[in-house]
Chains A and B, each alone.
Chain A
Amino acid sequence: MATDIVMPQMGESIVEGTITKWLKKPGDKIQRDEPLFEISTDKVDAEIPAPASGVLQEIKVTEGTTVQVNTVVGTISSDGEGAAVKTAPAAEKKAAPAPAAKAAAPAPVPPPAAPAAAKHEVEDHARSSPLVRKIAREHNVDLGQVKGSGLGGRITKEDILAFIEGQESSGAEAARVAASPATSQPGEGARPSIAPTAPRPPAPSIPGEVVPMTNMRRIIAQRMIESRRTSAHVHCMFEVDLTRIVNLRNKLKSGFEQRNGARLTFMPFFVRAAIIALQQFPIVNASMEGDSIHYHKHVNVGIAVALDWGLIVPVLKNADELNFLGLQRGITDLGERARGKKLKPEEVEGSTFTVTNPGQFGAVFGLPIINQPNSAIMGVGGITKMPLVVTDKDGADSIAIRSVVHLTLGYDHRLIDGAVADQFMALVKKTLEGWSEDVG
């Protein structure tokens, strides 16, 4: 009996995933639930466990290949059956149809990026040499268009140099034609065919290394630009006297750790203060959906976690129902699992508000970009001691050394007016400065 290994659906909106690494080779014995391969999707990078015990019989989809969800990527045979081990049949399996795709899938599956993929395949199949491929890269030449004169149709150095020379001279010709007076009759001197294939001029060669983006980096880049384009970003910044909380934390942290087995950090204080303010100002916890505003019932807090290889925002669901200890445990757990690539796909979606912590490396404050589809994001700056004017209960002013943090709110001005944002932040400030809640 062979069990099919399929590309899992990592979240409702996900249609495809890339196999980044096989952790086993054909012929390896595997236990059910043992990590089998790693994937990268638009949402999350994850280790996928084996669906059954046995021997990895066949890898059908090689590393680096993107396939639709539910595509069979390999098979596991039950013990003793794996004698005829097959290896992957190369990357032709690219974008194989998903036979068992959910019938009820609401959106039509977008076709794979056909032109780009096809072009790459042509390039891959054009017989050439490392030198020719380097020259092609440097001059942005599609090797599929170069005719090879070498053995077996191989593209030689002479072939590609001649091709580039030809392009340059016809490019010059085209430029001359374009520059000629508009009165020239069609057919007289115009040769219109070459324009679309004219290559970009080669980039000036600045020494360095060109590395393809990781999936995660590509997604971050896309999301950041999208967010900037979507929301009318405005930021406000509040200075918060954190002395009370710093003292409280210093006093309580060892006891907290002993009682609860969890480190006491500053993050839950900020998250808790934000939740109180979000409940007071529900528009800050809302999303814009077309012409409507979706006021979310619960507060799902996205927590930005910096990784060595990028950044991810796991979500603490229903954070408004958690007490302080629950917040602390949830935040710590998500951070650890984010760094260990152990997040489940549903754990990186569904946020209603996001907290990010640019201050952890010493920034005084940051101006964060909104995590769509949220309407606001709070940035926590570094906690530093600074001289502050304090007023005692008799109204007398003095200068004192206080622990201060700068909080910024990045908000979408389409939904949130400045006054609301400021009131929201004023409440956050008040909650923090007059902290009274039991931390557990």
Chain B
Amino acid sequence: MAQLTYLDAIRQGIWEEMERDASVFCIGEDIGIYGGAFKVTEGFIDRFGPERVIDTPIAESAIVGAAFGASLTGMRPIAEFQFMDFISCAMNQISNMVAKTHYLWGAPAPLVLRGPSGGGVHGGPFHSQNPEMWFVHNPGLKVVCPATAYDAKGLIKASIRDNNPIVFFEHKFLYRRIKEDIPADDYVVPIGKARVAREGRDITVITYAAMVHTAMEAAETLAKEGIELEIVDLRTLAPLDGEAIVRSVRKTNKVIVLHEDTKTGGIAGEIAAIINEEAFEDLDGPVVRITALDTPVPFSPPQEERFLPHVRDLIEKARWLKAY
């Protein structure tokens, strides 16, 4: 087993799928010779050639349009966005074409739209957003947000093999910060299944992506005070693993939903509603949301610090909820 970063795990996953299946190809801005904005596809053009690692003009709409058309002909394109913030340029293609093709015509559109999202890197309002909910609210798409290198590899491979269009969010803060042993064998992680990242009896923290690590850190501190967090890593936002959510709520009876996305319209509200519908009588306290503020992501580092949820916020809320 080799220690791989989150980025390398994704890179390896795509590589393996391109080796395995000739219909898989990459398309995006500067993904070829330059190797991609974050070097996910570094070296790909040498191995797979310019026909399978296609550099495009700076036109996200065209990237998605081309990938979508190719997917209808039986190809399995992987379209890269330099930053997921710019995916909004392709919104019509994604929302009206990609997401609805199977519903309208029964035609599968097996494409993966992937790229980095998230803040904490002082990237400012155009390079730090978490736009996953734009797609969760588009029936017909699957939305994947891995938190670990193992899951990132297993989920990118599952996404490439899936016959549905996938929007795949790679948290850029995690790219080179986390590392873990990745098995050498060919594995996939099922889409739509959450994972319990940490078992605990007192409070369930439901989260995903980079915030999983925030929650793990808070759990260490809280454990010393006798508060045991159970951390549910959603891994996929659409389809959402409601069963896993409810199972954990039934166990701990208290819930915090933590995400880096802004509060209003974030998945936390949806999760709170599911808990309300499915497990109201299992609640021993209110469902608590810890999220980013309802503003654009600030450029100024101290402001971004204020904007994002932190370990201390979770610790404080968890203490309050435990005492509730």
Q: Which residues of A contact B (CB under 8 A)?
A: 129-134, 150-151, 154, 156-157
Could you list 17 A-B pairs, sorted by A, with CB under 8 Å?
A: A129-B253, A129-B285, A130-B280, A130-B283, A130-B284, A131-B253, A131-B281, A131-B282, A131-B283, A132-B284, A134-B281, A134-B282, A150-B323, A151-B323, A151-B324, A154-B324, A156-B324
Residue-by-residue, is B288-324 near A (CB-CB < 8 Å gives 1, otherwise 0)?
A: 0000000000000000000000000000000010011
Residue in chain B with minimal CB distance to A157: B284
**Total count of chain B residues near the partner, CB < 8 A:** 10
Q: Are B323 and A131 in touch, CB under 8 angstroms?
A: no
Per the bound structure, the CA–CA distance linking A129 and B324 in Å amounts to: 10
Nearest 6 CB-CB pairs, A to B? A131-B284, A134-B281, A157-B284, A129-B284, A130-B281, A131-B253
Q: Once the chains are docked, how many angstroms separate the CA of A322 from the CA of B324?
A: 70
Interface SS of chain A: helix, strand, loop or mixed? helix
- With a CB–CB cut-off of 8 A, which chain A residues contact B323? 150-151
CA distance A131 to B282 in the complex (A): 5
Alpha-carbon gap, A131 to B283, bound state (A): 5
**Are A150 and B324 interface neighbours, CB within 8 A?**
yes
Q: Which of B48-93 contact A (CB under 8 A)?
A: none
CA distance A129 to B321 in the complex (A): 12
Within 8 A of A (CB), among B230-289: 253, 280-285
Measured between C-beta atoms, what is the minimum distance from B226 to chain A in Å? 12
How far does the Cβ of B153 sit from chain A's closest Cβ, in whole Å?
Answer: 39
Type the 1/0 row for B7-29, where 1 means its CB is closer than 8 Å to any CB of A.
Answer: 00000000000000000000000
CA distance A130 to B285 in the complex (A): 8
Q: Using Cβ atoms and an 8 Å threshold, which residues of chain B touch A134?
A: 281-282
Q: A129-B283, A132-B284, A151-B323 are in contact. List 9 more A-B contacts (CB 8 A).
A: A129-B284, A130-B282, A131-B284, A134-B282, A150-B323, A150-B324, A151-B324, A154-B324, A156-B324
CB A149 to nearest CB in B, in angstroms, measures 9
B284–chain A nearest beta-carbon distance, Å? 4
Give Cα A154 to B285, complex, Å.
10
- Which B residues are in CB contact (< 8 Å) with A150? 323-324
Chain A residues near B284: list those with CB within 8 A: 129-132, 156-157
Query: Binary interface profile of B, 142-172, with partner A (CB < 8 Å = 1, else 0)?
Result: 0000000000000000000000000000000
- Measured CB to CB, the closest approach of chain B to A162, in angstroms, equals 14
Chain B residue nearest to A132 (CB atoms) is: B284
Q: Which residues of B contact A131 (CB under 8 A)?
A: 253, 281-284
Q: How far is the CB of A155 from chain B (nearest CB, A)?
A: 9
Q: What chain B residues lie within 8 Å of A151 (beta carbons)?
A: 320, 323-324
Q: Which residues of B lie under 8 Å from residue A133 when comparing CB positions?
A: 281
**Chain B residues in 8 Å Cβ range of A130:** 280-284
State A169–B223 Cα separation when bound (angstroms): 31
**B residues in contact with A132, CB < 8 Å:** 284
Which residues from chain A contact B281 at a C-beta distance below 8 Å? 130-131, 133-134
Distance in Å from the Cβ of B140 to the closest Cβ of chain A?
35
| Complex Cα–Cα for A157 and B323 (A) | 11
Min CB gap B148→A, angstroms: 32
By beta carbon, the residue of chain A nearest B276 is A130
Complex alpha-carbon distance, A151 and B321, angstroms: 9
Chain B residue nearest to A155 in the complex (CB)? B284
* Chain A residue nearest in CB terms to B323: A151
A127 CB to nearest B CB, Å: 10
Separation of A150 and B286 alpha carbons in the complex (Å): 13
CB distance from B321 to the nearest CB of A (A): 10
The residue on B at minimum CB distance from A133 is: B281
Which residues of chain A come closer than 8 Å to B324, judged between CB atoms?
150-151, 154, 156
Chain B residues in 8 Å Cβ range of A129:
253, 283-285
Task: Report the nearest A residue to B286, measured CB to CB.
Answer: A129
Name which residue of chain B comes closest to A160, CB basis.
B284
State the CA gap A156–B281 with chains docked (Å).
13
Bound complex: CA of A157 vs CA of B253, how far in Å?
8
CB-defined contacts of B253 to chain A, threshold 8 Å? 129, 131, 157
Bound complex: CA of A157 vs CA of B283, how far in Å?
A: 9
Q: How far is the CA of A129 from the CA of B279 in the complex (A)?
A: 12
Bound: A157/B249 CA distance, A: 13
**Complex interface: chain A residues within 8 A of B320 (CB):** 151
Report which residue of A131, A132, A150, A156 has the largest number of chain B beta carbons within 10 angstroms of its beta carbon: A131
User: Whose C-beta in chain A lies nearest to the C-beta of B282?
Assistant: A131
CB-nearest residue of chain A to B254: A157
Chain B residues contacting A154 (CB-CB under 8 Å) are 324
Question: Which chain A positions have C-beta within 8 A of B285?
Answer: 129
Contacts of B283 in A (CB 8 A): 129-131
The listed residue with most A CB atoms (<10 A of its CB), out of B282, B284, B323, is B284
B280 → A minimal CB distance (Å): 5
| Distance A355 CA – B16 CA, assembled complex (angstroms) | 84
In whole angstroms, how far apart are the Cα atoms of A130 and B323 in the complex? Answer: 16
How far apart sit A129 and B275, CA to CA, in the bound complex (Å)? 14
Taking CB as reference atom, which chain B residue is nearest A128?
B284
B280 partner residues in chain A, CB cutoff 8 A: 130
In the bound assembly, the distance between CA atoms of A96 and B281 in angstroms comes to 33
Most chain A beta-carbon contacts within 10 A, residue among B282, B285, B320, B323: B285
CA distance A151 to B284 in the complex (A): 12
The minimal Cβ–Cβ distance linking B274 to chain A, given in whole angstroms, is 15
A157 to B285 alpha-carbon distance, docked (Å): 9
CB distance from B281 to the nearest CB of A (A): 4
Residue of B nearest to A154 (CB): B324
- Of chain B, the residue at the smallest CB distance from A131 is B284
- CA A130 to CA B283, docked complex, whole Å: 6
Assembly CA distance A126 to B15 (angstroms): 61
Interface positions, chain B 82-137, Cβ under 8 Å from A, are none
Give chain A nearest CB distance to B250 CB in angstroms: 9
A132 to B282, CA, bound (A): 8
CA distance A129 to B323 in the complex (A): 13
Taking the closest CB of chain B, its distance from the CB of A37, in whole angstroms, is 30
